[in-house]
Amino acid sequence: MLLQMSFLCLSCLAVFSHSQHQASLSRSNDPTGRCVYTFEVISPQETSCTRNSTESEMDEVLTRLTLLEAMVSQLIARGGSGTGSGGLRYNDEYLQEAYAQVTRERNQLQLEQEHLKTQVQKLQSTLAELSLETERLRQRPSEQTNTSGGTLHENRPLRDPGYHFKNTSYQEMKAEVKKLPASHLIPEGNHSLTGCGELLSVGDPVLHRKADAITGKYGVWLQDPDPRGPYYTKNTVWRIDAVGKEVRQLFIYENIDQFSKGFPMKVLVLPEPMESTGATVYQGSLYYQRRRSRTLLRYNLTSENLASLLDLPHAGFHGQHPYSWGGYTDIDLAVDEQGLWAIYSTSKAKGAIIISQLDPESMKVRRSWETKIRKNSVGNAFMMCGRLFTIASYTTPNTTINYMFDTATNEGQSIAVPFMNKYRYNSMVDYNHAQRKLYAWDNFHMVTYDVRLGWVGQGSS
Ligand SMILES: *[C@@H]1O[C@H](CO)[C@@H](O)[C@H](O)[C@H]1NC(C)=O
Ligand SMILES: *[C@@H]1O[C@H](CO)[C@@H](O)[C@H](O)[C@H]1NC(C)=O
Ligand SMILES: *[C@@H]1O[C@H](CO)[C@@H](O)[C@H](O)[C@H]1NC(C)=O
Ligand SMILES: *[C@@H]1O[C@H](CO)[C@@H](O)[C@H](O)[C@H]1NC(C)=O
Ligand SMILES: *[C@@H]1O[C@H](CO)[C@@H](O)[C@H](O)[C@H]1NC(C)=O
Ligand SMILES: *[C@@H]1O[C@H](CO)[C@@H](O)[C@H](O)[C@H]1NC(C)=O
């Protein structure tokens, strides 16, 4: 401050060197040689005249420079008084430290910049893919077509000869829903020891989230009924949008509230692309089918790497034995009170649903059951209490859970429990025994259904 003021005084002196007194008279020759008298009086108001801009700019720069010099000399002085003769070295060290710090920060920023660049590239390619997909969706014939088949791709897999597939370039497919004759019997058996009763009724769907992008027309969303590891709990929500050629992104939400608000806490990129909507989360692992294969993958959600990988023997895949919806729903993984299951079919079973109980560690088949219901005749299926339940239609709003197969008795039978496809395009239905709810993805809408379990004549859960 002091310095600044003294500088201003200096400049005053330079300009008004002749105005030490109240007034002054001077004499000089003008260019024509005539004598000119100049009489100057100091203005009582103004301490300085407005000078021309070049001059004032120069002055400003000079002022700043002087200020800086003053600060430097103050610093040196302070360092000197603090550490005696080591003042300069102290400053040196301080500067070196600061320099190192700046260098580290710069390197960090460069790393982050590169990281961002690759992310931008990834996003751009995803965007390109999505535009393509959107374009295809647009070019597709009307939504509710009346075909009975699936899609053709370049590497068309072997199919059962009885199936006639239509040529569309998209994963989705439609089928006429063949409803099975439904009786109104409630199945036999006593599961009270496991906490499992009969399925008495399913509530109306409760909406939790609506997808806002085309990638969210169908997908998988789940909570782990039996979580492991330090990071994730029963409240954690897992979501995968399944539209697209390379389905790899796993969104993680802290709880259902954050999920509803659309704030993921993390996004994992899976090492292998996923097929369809059959994935499940169980005991800290994500289980899913690798794209265009019968290979099952177990992805450890804590260590974030592939823990095991195994082919599901003879399982049809990529459009051989899907649900009536299609969408390559050939292999549907499920979890219930009794563990991990695969719902699928084989050529040998001629499209009838096979249920296999899998070892959660290795995914080896422990035991299999063959049912008498064709996989492509039902809209979806889930496991509950060691029993398979199938849903008659994925698109009829008022449909039924129309068949039940009990692995304990090795017997199946028709049932009729009302079930609502509120949004008319239900691509995924899974049971979560910890929450006692069905989780479903119905045409962009992520919903749950309460289930009421009980015993015949008792009617409570
Ligand atoms: C401003 O000052 C500069 C340098 O003193 C001078 O060359 C220039 O002619 C002046 N401009 C005006 C408009 O007075
Ligand atoms: C599908 O429906 C259209 C009219 O909606 C009809 O012309 C066509 O024959 C139907 N195709 C099949 C395979 O049923
Ligand atoms: C069927 O698909 C092939 C390639 O996938 C394409 O060249 C052909 O035009 C399609 N046919 C029809 C009728 O869409
Ligand atoms: C099931 O078991 C419970 C308790 O063991 C019993 O009260 C109930 O009557 C049984 N229900 C049937 C249908 O056997
Ligand atoms: C997953 O990985 C973590 C960390 O490596 C490990 O502690 C845990 O046992 C693994 N979980 C499973 C189910 O393999
Ligand atoms: C569907 O079920 C709801 C109640 O669950 C009922 O109000 C509605 O009338 C039913 N619609 C049809 C077409 O059966």
In percent, the amount of the chain with pLDDT more than 70 equals: 73
Rounded-to-integer distance, Cα 216 and Cα 242, Å: 7
pTM for the full predicted model: 0.57
Q: Say which amino acid occupies 5.
A: M
Mean pLDDT of all residues belonging to the chain = 79
The least confident of 11-15, 202-206, 250-254, 448-452 is 11-15
Q: What is the maximum alpha-carbon separation in the chain?
A: 129
Q: What is the mean pLDDT of residues 71-87?
A: 62
**Which of 192, 194, 196, 409 to mutate to test ligand 4, by most ligand atoms within 8 A of the CB atom?**
192
Which ligand 4 atom lies nearest to the CA of residue 193? 5
Q: How far is the CA of 167 from the centre of ligand 3 (A)?
A: 6
Is 311 strand, coil or helix?
Answer: strand
Residue with tokens 């439609």: 174
Element (H, E) at 355: strand 352-358
What span, in angstroms and rounded, lies between the C-alpha atoms of 375 and 352? 6
Cβ atoms 394, 323 nearer than 8 A: yes
- Taking only the tens place, the pLDDT of each residue in 426-452 is 999 999 999 999 999 999 999 999 999
- Catalogue all structural domains in the chain, each as residue range(s) with its CATH number: 2-42+57-83 (no CATH), 182-455 (2.40.128.630)
253 exposure class (CB count in 10 Å sphere: 0-12, 13-18, 19+): buried
pLDDT tier at 12, thresholds 50, 70, 90:
very low
Q: Are 294 and 317 in contact (CB under 8 A)?
A: yes
**For ligand 3, atom 1, which residue shows the shortest CA distance?**
167
Enumerate residues lining ligand 5, CB below 6 A.
228, 283-285, 300, 302-303, 307
User: Which residue has a Cα nearest atom 13 of ligand 4?
Assistant: 190
Amino acid at 244: G
8 A C-beta contact, residue 262 and residue 213: no
- Residue 200 clears pLDDT 50, i.e. is over it: yes
Which of the ligands is closest to the CA of residue 175? 2
> CB under 8 Å to 276, separation ≥6 — which residues?
171, 242, 289, 322, 327, 328, 329, 330, 331
d(CA 138, CA 170): 11
Angle subtended by helix axes 87-139 and 53-83, to nearest 10: 120
Task: Out of 20-29, 68-77, 328-337, give the one with best mean pLDDT.
Answer: 328-337
Candidates 411, 387, 404; CA nearest to 337 is 387
Burial class (CB in 10 A: 0-12, 13-18, 19+), 391: buried
pLDDT digits (tens, 9 = 90+) for 243-276: 988 999 999 999 999 999 999 999 999 999 999 9
- Which protein residues are within 6 Å of ligand 1, measured from CB? 52, 54-55
Average pLDDT over residues 189-215: 81
